[in-house]
Structures are given as C-alpha cells and as structure tokens.
Amino acid sequence: MLPALPFYLASAFLIGASLGVVGSRNPVYAALFLVLAFVSAAVLWLLAGAEFLAMALVVVYVGAVMVLFLFVVMMIDVRLAVLHRSFVRYLPLGVLVAVAMMVQIIAALRGLAQGAGHAFPEGGNTEALGTLIYTRFLYPFEIAGLILLLAIVAAIALTLRRREGTRHQDPGRQVLVRKQDRLRLWRLPPHQASGEQLPASAQREDT
C-alpha cells in the first residue's frame, strides 16, 4: 500500500534524526534534529494517507512548538558536560519508556489487524475529519476553543510583566500633537548688545 522507497527513506531519516536528538552534545543541534524528525514523521503520515495530521505536524510542531523549544533551550542555559552525564543517568528510565511505548504500539497494531480496519476515506482524510469534527464532535471542538482561550489568559498572566522606567514612543500621541502644545512664538525687539537678558518688552505672541 505504501510506496516503498519514500517510506524507507523517511523512516531512515526519522531514525537518524532521533539518534541525533539523543546523541548530539549541543542542545541547539538536538532541537534542530527534532525538527528533522518531525518533518520525517510528517512524510510518513502523508504516505499513510493522513494528510491533515501531516500538515498539522509541520504547521504546529515544526512551525511553532520548535520555536518555543529553541527558546527554552536558550533559557535554561544547559552546560554541555552536565547534559552528557545525565544521559547515562536517565538511560534506564528512557529504556523503560521506550519498551512501554513499544508494547502499546504492538497492542494497537494487533487491534488493527483483528479487523478494526480503516480505508482511505472518500475525498481525503482532511474532509472526513472536518465532517466529523464539525458535526458529531461539535461540543468537544467548542471546549477546545475554550481551552485555547484559557491558555491565552494563563500565558499572559504567567509571563507578562511591565518593566519600569522604559522609554518608548507612542506614535498615536505623536500624530495627535498640535502646534499649540509645542510651539511658542516670541516677538523680540531688535537690540544691539549681546548677552543681555530678555527685555521686558518681549511679548508672547499667541499662536
């Protein structure tokens, strides 16, 4: 069913990139390898007919989440040597998680093989998904919207803080300024000696 050559190519890239994520000493490189892993996984999903998931993976994970990952990598300021030591320390836990995931995947695949079959939907995966989301799963969809709203409020509440004493321009107020607010015209009578005080006869001329 799957075209063989693109499948093996994308799988090889996925495995190689995953090894790069775990193995690279520079965390920024690890994050970039993760981008490659995501793109390879998107290709695999595309080959399996899951067009919408592939698109979402590229748009959401590669486009947005990885930007955040890179910022986090910059933020936590990891020391490379410490990272290398913790690799060995967390290896047993990682193996445990990998085995658990493997068991789950095998169980899921067995369920598929026993007849919970799937076919390529008419008109493509995206259309089938949309038809389901916006009719049968309408309520969860609206809840998803509310969760997103909650996330917006939470993100702002957690990270937004005003910095005191910063100077910045306000273009709106700059545009609204009038001549009367800024400019004063003085009519000065001609006089000769320099360095004198402003003569009392100088009058303010109203603008």
Partner 1 sequence: MLAAYLAIPFFLVVAAGIGLFALAAGFVLGPRRPDPRKAAPYECGFEAFEDAHMPFDVRYYLVAILFILFDLEITFLFPWAVSLNHIGTAGLLAMVAFLLVLTIGFIYEWRKGALEWE
Stretch that binds partner 1, among 81-89, 99-107, 128-136, 179-187 (CB under 8 A): 128-136
Instruction: Decide if residue 23 touches partner 1 (CB under 8 A).
Output: no
Cα(57)–Cα(34) distance, rounded to whole angstroms?
12
**Residue 163 exposure: Cα atoms within 13 Å on the Cβ side:** 3
- Site for partner 1 (CB under 8 A): which residue of 7, 16, 24, 56? 56
Minimum separation from the CB atom of position 12 to partner 1 (A) = 15
Instruction: Decide if residue 46 touches partner 1 (CB under 8 A).
Output: yes
When the beta carbons of 173 and 178 are compared against partner 1, the nearer one is 173
CB proximity list for 152: less than 8 A, separation 6 or greater: none
> Which string of x and - marks every residue 82-121 that binds partner 1 (by CB under 8 A)?
--------------------------------------x-
Residue type, position 3, single letter: P
Q: CA angle at residue 122 from 4 to 118, to 5 degrees?
A: 60
Cα(103)–Cα(109) distance, rounded to whole angstroms?
10
- Site for partner 1 (CB under 8 A): which residue of 15, 22, 64, 102? 64
Minimum separation from the CB atom of position 154 to partner 1 (A) = 9
Neighbours of 17 (CB within 10 A): 19
When the beta carbons of 111 and 124 are compared against partner 1, the nearer one is 124
Nearest to 125 by CA among 55, 182, 27: 55
> Which string of x and - marks every residue 133-172 that binds partner 1 (by CB under 8 A)?
xxx--x--xx-xxx-xx-xxx-xx--xxxxx--x-x----
